[in-house]
Amino acid sequence: MAETNNGPKPYAFLAQAKERFAFLKELGFQIVKEEEGTYQSFKDGFWLHYKNKNIEVWIEYADNEFCISFKKDNLRIGYLFIDAYIFANASGWAGDMFPFQKLAPEIDAVASDVAANYLPILQGEAGIWHKIEKLANAPKEKKSKLP
């Protein structure tokens, strides 16, 4: 159990995320910001921001929502969007809401998925980012409100 100035923390998700996403450092990413709350409330969590010369990666958990996002130029796009539209929901995730007690295995699973499949995204390859941008900017299908 990790220690804080106010006693032991019940969780150490920031340390886990830094360990599991350590492969980003091998790809030239540096930690820009890291912060961890006390987990005394479901609104609390951790924030981790990586950056290299072309790409930024956020790994964040607050309000029971575990969000991973990637940014190139002015386009910041979430892991769930990329998973759904580029990788046909290979992660199996149906959402990103996890209570503290169920978060640890999800951090591991997402880190493994990103390490195994997201190299072109992390390297800023133009082709994949062009595809992501087109999908992100595509018109949304309007659904009829009539029965």
| pLDDT the model gives residue 41 | 75
Summarised one tens digit per residue, pLDDT across range 28-43 is 999 999 999 887 777 7
Q: Where are the domains of the chain?
A: 3-137
pTM of the predicted model as reported, rounded to 2 decimal places = 0.86
Summarised one tens digit per residue, pLDDT across range 83-129 is 999 999 988 888 888 888 888 899 999 999 999 999 999 999 999 99
Rg (CA), the chain: 17
| pLDDT the model gives residue 9 | 56
Tally DSSP H helices, then E strands, for the chain. 6, 7
Instruction: Name the strand (E) or helix (H) holding 126.
Output: helix 126-137
